[in-house]
Amino acid sequence: MDKKDLFVIYGSDACRMTLDLLEQIRPEVGLAQNARIGIKPNLVVAKQAETGATTHPDLVAGILAYFQNKGFGNLVILEGSWVGDQTSRAFRACGFEELARRFRVPLVDLQCDTDRACSGGGMQIAVCEQVLQLDCLVNVPVLKGHCQTRMTCALKNLKGCIPNREKRRFHSLGLHRPIAALNAIIRQDLILVDGLCGDLNFEEGGHPVAMNRIIAASDPVLADSYVASLMGFSNDEIPYIGYAEALEVGSSDLSRARITALNDDLGSAQLPKIRSLGALTRLIADQDACSACYGSLVHALERLREHGTLGAIRQPLRIGQRYKGKPCDGIGIGSCTAGCARHLPGCPPDARAMVRFLENLPG
């Protein structure tokens, strides 16, 4: 597949759509029959795909069926959920345990894997060993929003290929540059973007939007640039796209892309307007918070808004790793803010606990 190509297919039958895409792309060309092929979905949390958070198992079923029908038998599904969840729970809740049994392929929990220090993009990053042993990596991100980076797709999905301690370090470094550097280390051979019903605001789902499409690419920078345009963002608003392009991971130039639709989109041509989170995020004093903690706090504030109690929050809510070991006035969320005058423990505390804590703060 040429780096300039983007293929789009519309519909609701994820398995059939995937098979049709792969027949067009023929990703097996040039691969040895014993090649170790790794499929990396987005199973950031233990929530079903219908919530808009995770990759549809039927899409991955299409990938497995295609390669097995072509005689490839060394297939594996790999994932490392975010720090706030367990990959084993996500495999089970998202339907991947049943999928693995049906196709007789192993599931690899990258949270339990060994890792190796690798250099690229001007950084040294610990990468899970099983990822480094692949001959072919098929990245299957979800087209969805992210409360810290605005969107997450092909480039950011590789964050599941590093150990938890490295995920925490990425947040302390500001996410965008380390995400770009990671993509200079790990090569993606094929990208199939699950654009069926992602949540356009939160990485952990809850407000799925029916978009009914799968996008295929081999250049993660081009894929993310295209998805950013669909969501109404410029590349400047998603800094890791530009950083990855500067590291020669790929090209963001959509004017030179060949975009091929395999069928007609019978639904809306444009994605719906993304909800404004500004009124919520303005209440957060973030100092290098991990995604699990930050995302849960945004969800909690959304619940307060629904309950009509958001107006009671009159001071910034402190959250993030840089508060560790520091005494401070005000309200802290998560274990890192134990030095705050009022503090909710947990790494991370869940959104329900946050709602209870915030609604019971003394006026």
DSSP symbols for 212-241: -EEEEES-HHHHHHHHHHHTT--GGGSHHH
Asked if residue 281 lies in contact with residue 298, where contact means CB atoms within 8 angstroms, the answer is yes
The whole-angstrom separation of Cα 79 and Cα 281 is 29
CA distance to 120, 216, 230, per residue, from 225 (Å): 22, 13, 9
The domains of the chain are located at 5-261, 278-359
Q: For tokens 């973007």, what's the residue?
A: 193
- Return the structure tokens found at 188: 């993606």
- Return the structure tokens found at 203: 């990485």
pLDDT in tens, the chain (363 residues): 999 999 999 999 999 999 999 999 999 999 999 999 999 999 999 999 999 999 999 999 999 999 999 999 999 999 999 887 899 999 999 999 999 999 999 999 999 999 999 999 999 999 999 999 999 999 999 999 988 898 999 999 999 999 999 999 998 899 999 999 999 999 999 999 999 999 988 788 888 888 899 999 999 999 999 999 888 789 999 999 999 999 999 999 999 999 999 998 766 444 555 556 677 888 999 888 876 687 778 778 887 888 899 988 989 999 998 899 999 989 999 999 999 999 999 887 877 788 889 998 886
CA distance to 191, 211, 312, per residue, from 194 (Å): 10, 9, 39
Q: For tokens 């480094």, what's the residue?
A: 132
Angle at 8 between CA 5 and CA 9, to 5 degrees: 145
Q: 139 pairs with which residues across the strands?
A: 40, 191
pTM of the model: 0.82
CATH number of 5-261: 3.40.50.11440
Q: Look up residue 341 and give its amino acid.
A: A
Taking alpha carbons only, the member of 36, 59, 192 closest to residue 129 is: 36
Query: In a 3-state reduction of DSSP, which class is residue 299?
Result: helix
DSSP element (H, E) containing 330: strand 328-333
